[in-house]
Every structure is written in structure tokens, then in C-alpha cells.
Chain A
């Protein structure tokens, strides 16, 4: 009993200790082997740096494009799979889930090659057809496409599982009431899996804040990606190119705080909506 509690507390304690440690450390700027306590100076510096703020702006733009596309497509595919018309459901599920088994770094590498004129057969075909597609000059859609490729299938499987959990009686009732497949999907299935849509949305936002791997690969080939393109890249550059650990830690902590605040707001919002609904039905 004690043992289990210990085993369980160690990781949590470690995490807590770590976060406290960061709070302390983030208040330190490293001089020449001499640390000076600067309080919130590093936070002020990070927030005052326009490059850092631009990084967040990048994330906002990225989310505005990526989240609707990803959620829309994965919901659509899940609903199609759940419809009585789909064949080979297991095959489709597996095939669409596979990108999740591909390391992000490798996905980014492959797509970067597919974006590079000369290497890419896709661009080659487009070119011979007289088309032009300069994705390396437009990193945002380039990165969004990578993310969509990596995550849509994964989330689709989550949605599909949720759809499968809908009691069959409910769907039969809908059919008896004369609802067509489309109507059933929109008015019955979607509201019933709202919880998992919210959850996926939240994890997606948190994941988006951490955007790092994909732009880091593009950074080598696409001039439009600068070293502080996302907050995480900013923190990394601060730590390893400029050896400014205080600034790096501060920008990391800020990022974590923003993520925590966002998820808190989202969960609160959905919970209160659920409570309101239960009160309304009571």
C-alpha cells in the first residue's frame, strides 16, 4: 500500500519539484559563472521581445487554419466510416491511423522532400501540367499540411470509437422517425460525441502551442521560417544559440502557463455548459 503510493507520488513529486525549480531558475540570469537574481526580469524580457510575441501570433494563425481543417476532415471521415455504406472499415481505420506510427521528424522530412522542387514527384507532375506550388515560400500551409497528415487519422479513430459507443436504439429511433443518414449524422451523432470533440480540440490546441519539430526541419530549407518562428523554437534558440538559460526557462514557463490557462478555460466552459444543460432538463 505504502509502496504503491510512493511509486505513484515519485513522478508527481518530481514534476512538482521540477516546476518549482523552474520558477526559481527562471528568475536567474547566467552571467560569467555568477548568477544574479533578476526576479521577473526574464519574463519581462521574453514578453517584451517582439520575436517571442510574433511566435505566438504564428501559432494563432496556424490554429485558425489547422484546427477547423483537421477537425472537419477527421469528423467527416469518422462519420463516413460509421455510415452503413462504408466497406472495409478495418482496413481504412488502420491505413488512416498509420501516420501516427511515423515519427514527427520523419513525417516532416518526407514532406519537406515532397515540397522541394526537383526532388518532389508531385511538384514535378504539377510542373509539367503547367502548375506552380511554392510551399517552401509559404511555411504556414506547409506546416499545417504536415500536421493534418499526422493527426487526422489518429483523431478520426477516437471519433469513430465514440460514434460506435452510441446506443443502437437511439439510431434506430431516428430511422423510425424518418431521418435520413445525413440528418442522423448532423442532428444525432455529432451532438452525442460532443465530449470527445471537445477533448480532441483541447489536446490539439495544447499540441499546437508546442509546435517545434516540423518548422525546425523546414528551417533548413525554407527561408521564410526564422529561428523564432514558434515560441518553442524561440526558447530553444535562446538556450542553445545564445546560452541565455534564464530567458529560455522563462519563455518555456510562459508557454506552459498559457497552455494550462487555455485548457482550464476550455474545460470550465464545457463543464458549465453541461451543467446548464442538465439544469435545463431538470
Chain B
């Protein structure tokens, strides 16, 4: 018997051993279909409402924003808001934006590379205490990152790295879960025979990894990169602890500092909202474009 795809499954369920499916049965069916999809739509609305608010609110000026007149499409000031955003506090917002891109871009690239190297090593080589080490990595997954942020701050201040670019970049290079994912991907994508063949052809270990292993595990690389990029981009606690110079702030921290000023200066409200919208956009685009990858990452993590 072939496995049925979902419409066929529905059909299989619909043909119950009842005497000829009458109208009553069918009506009940369409009702529950409406209920299922209705529930999904409701929940989606709840999910999208704040995002929708963010989109419309970022086009409002201060009085409209503070008057609660936000969920409409009238009185658009988006251009003005963007202009204000670009010029506020000496144009610092786009500097924050660039910082975020640098932290997240470089950090995620290096981190994904390290993770793939480690995962590959765990999967392909045999060495003493391998599984014990891997167990240690898995323990690392469970250690809360924010609990480590303060100790890292103390460590960084000892080394004199506090309030530098490195203080945010270095801790973001370590991602135990990424190592775990990379190992799962290597197990799935890199067949041992291919590596054997490469060695027969006289490629050294490094060459084998570089020209074959890395290429084969590219989808995994992208997945780890995406997750780490998101994590760094969204990270708030680490930069909050490490940085005091506002020129080094990533977007998240910059918006936070502006938000603390809204009390005395309501003019900052539209800046915060419009800035928030711009800070969300790249990630939303990335997730829409790379659906296959984040689904793969979540699947690898959940189906053991």
C-alpha cells in the first residue's frame, strides 16, 4: 500500500463505514474544517497584530502616535520619520545598524565555520574521549547564556576588552547547539565513502575537509549561520553589559537607550518605533527567503 498524501488521507477518513455519507456528515465536516482554519486565522491575527501596529505606527508623527491613532493608514509621515531617524543624535542610528550588521555578520560567519569544523571532526574522526567531549558540548547547550554574561564581563574587564568591538564579537563565536547541529548535518550529508575516495586520490585531511566536507555540508552551514545571525542580532544582555560607548552599540541597545529617553522627550517615540521597524526587516526577509533552512534546523533539533 502506498503512503497517502494528506488530501488522500482526508478522503480515507471521510469514507467511514457509514451507510453512504449523507448531507449531515458532510456539513459537520465542513464545519470542523472552518473551525480548524478559523482557529489558525485567529491565532495568526494575534501574532501579526503587533507587527502590523509596528508597520503603521512607524509612519505616524508624535501626536498621532501618542494619541493611539495608529492602526489607520491616514496621515502618513514615514518619509519624515526616516529623515528624522537618519539625522537624530548626529545620525547615530545607522551607525548602530552597521554595528549590528558587523557583529551579526562576522560573528555568525566565524561561528558557523567553527561549528562546522567541530561537527565534522566529531563525526568523521575517532579520538580518545570523543563522546565525553561531545557530552560536554551538550552540557554547554544547557548553560544559560545570560548567566555567563556577567562573568564574561568581569573576565573582559580583567583583560581590558570591555567597551570594545571584541567584547561583543568574541562571546558570540561560541555556540554549542551549533556544534550539535553541524554534527547532525555532517552525519546526514557527508558519506564516508566519498571521504575514502578523496584520500585514495591523495588529498590530505585538510584538503579533504576543505574541498569536499565543507561543500557537502553547505546547507547545514547556512542553517547554523542563520540561527546565529538571529541570535546575535537580537542579543541585548551581552552588549548591555559590555558596552558603554554609544558609538559601539548594536541596534537593539541603541533603541533601548532611546526608549529610556522618551519620558522626558516624547519626540523620541517615533524614532524608536521607526527604528524598530527597520531593525526587524532584515531578519523577516531572511526568514522568508530561507524557510527551508530554518525548518531543517528545527527538525534536526527535534527529531532525535
* A interface with B by C-beta (< 8 Å): 1, 3-5, 7-9, 11-12, 14-15, 18-19, 21-22, 25, 73, 76-77, 80-81, 83-87, 90, 92-107, 109-111, 113-114, 118-124, 149, 152-154, 157-159, 161-162, 165, 168-169, 171-172, 175, 178, 180-181, 195-196, 199-200, 202, 206-207, 209-210, 212-213, 217, 220, 232, 235-236, 239-240, 245, 248-249, 252-253, 255-256, 259-260, 263
A119 CA / B137 CA spacing, docked (Å): 46
Asked whether B287 is an interface residue with its Cβ less than 8 Å from the other chain, the reply is: yes
**Residue of A12, A101, A153 with highest tally of chain B CB at under 10 A:** A101
Q: Which residues of A contact B280 (CB under 8 A)?
A: 101-103, 106
Question: For chain A, what secondary structure do more than half of its interface residues adopt (helix, strand, loop), or is it mixed?
Answer: helix
Are A121 and B279 interface neighbours, CB within 8 A? no
Q: Which residues of A contact B236 (CB under 8 A)?
A: 103-105, 213
A196 CA / B283 CA spacing, docked (Å): 26
Q: A22-B154, A168-B3, A195-B304 are in contact. Are A157 and B298 (CB under 8 A)?
A: yes
A133 CA / B127 CA spacing, docked (Å): 61
Asked whether B145 is an interface residue with its Cβ less than 8 Å from the other chain, the reply is: yes
B149-191 near A? 1/0 per residue, CB < 8 Å: 1111111000000000000000001101001000000000000
Are A256 and B143 interface neighbours, CB within 8 A? yes
Question: For chain B, what secondary structure do more than half of its interface residues adopt (helix, strand, loop), or is it mixed?
Answer: helix
A152 CA / B43 CA spacing, docked (Å): 10
B251-277 near A? 1/0 per residue, CB < 8 Å: 111011001100100000000110010
Are B117 and A4 interface neighbours, CB within 8 A? yes
Residue of A nearest to B281 (CB): A101
Are A8 and B144 interface neighbours, CB within 8 A? no
* B interface with A by C-beta (< 8 Å): 1, 3-4, 6-7, 9-10, 12-13, 16-17, 32-33, 36-37, 39-40, 43-44, 46-51, 53-54, 57, 65-71, 114, 117-118, 120-122, 125, 127, 133, 136-137, 139-140, 142-155, 173-174, 176, 179, 205-206, 209, 230, 233-234, 236-237, 240-241, 251-253, 255-256, 259-260, 263, 272-273, 276, 279-280, 283-284, 286-288, 291, 294-295, 298-299, 301-304
Are A96 and B43 interface neighbours, CB within 8 A? yes
Q: Which residues of A contact B241 (CB under 8 A)?
A: 236, 239-240
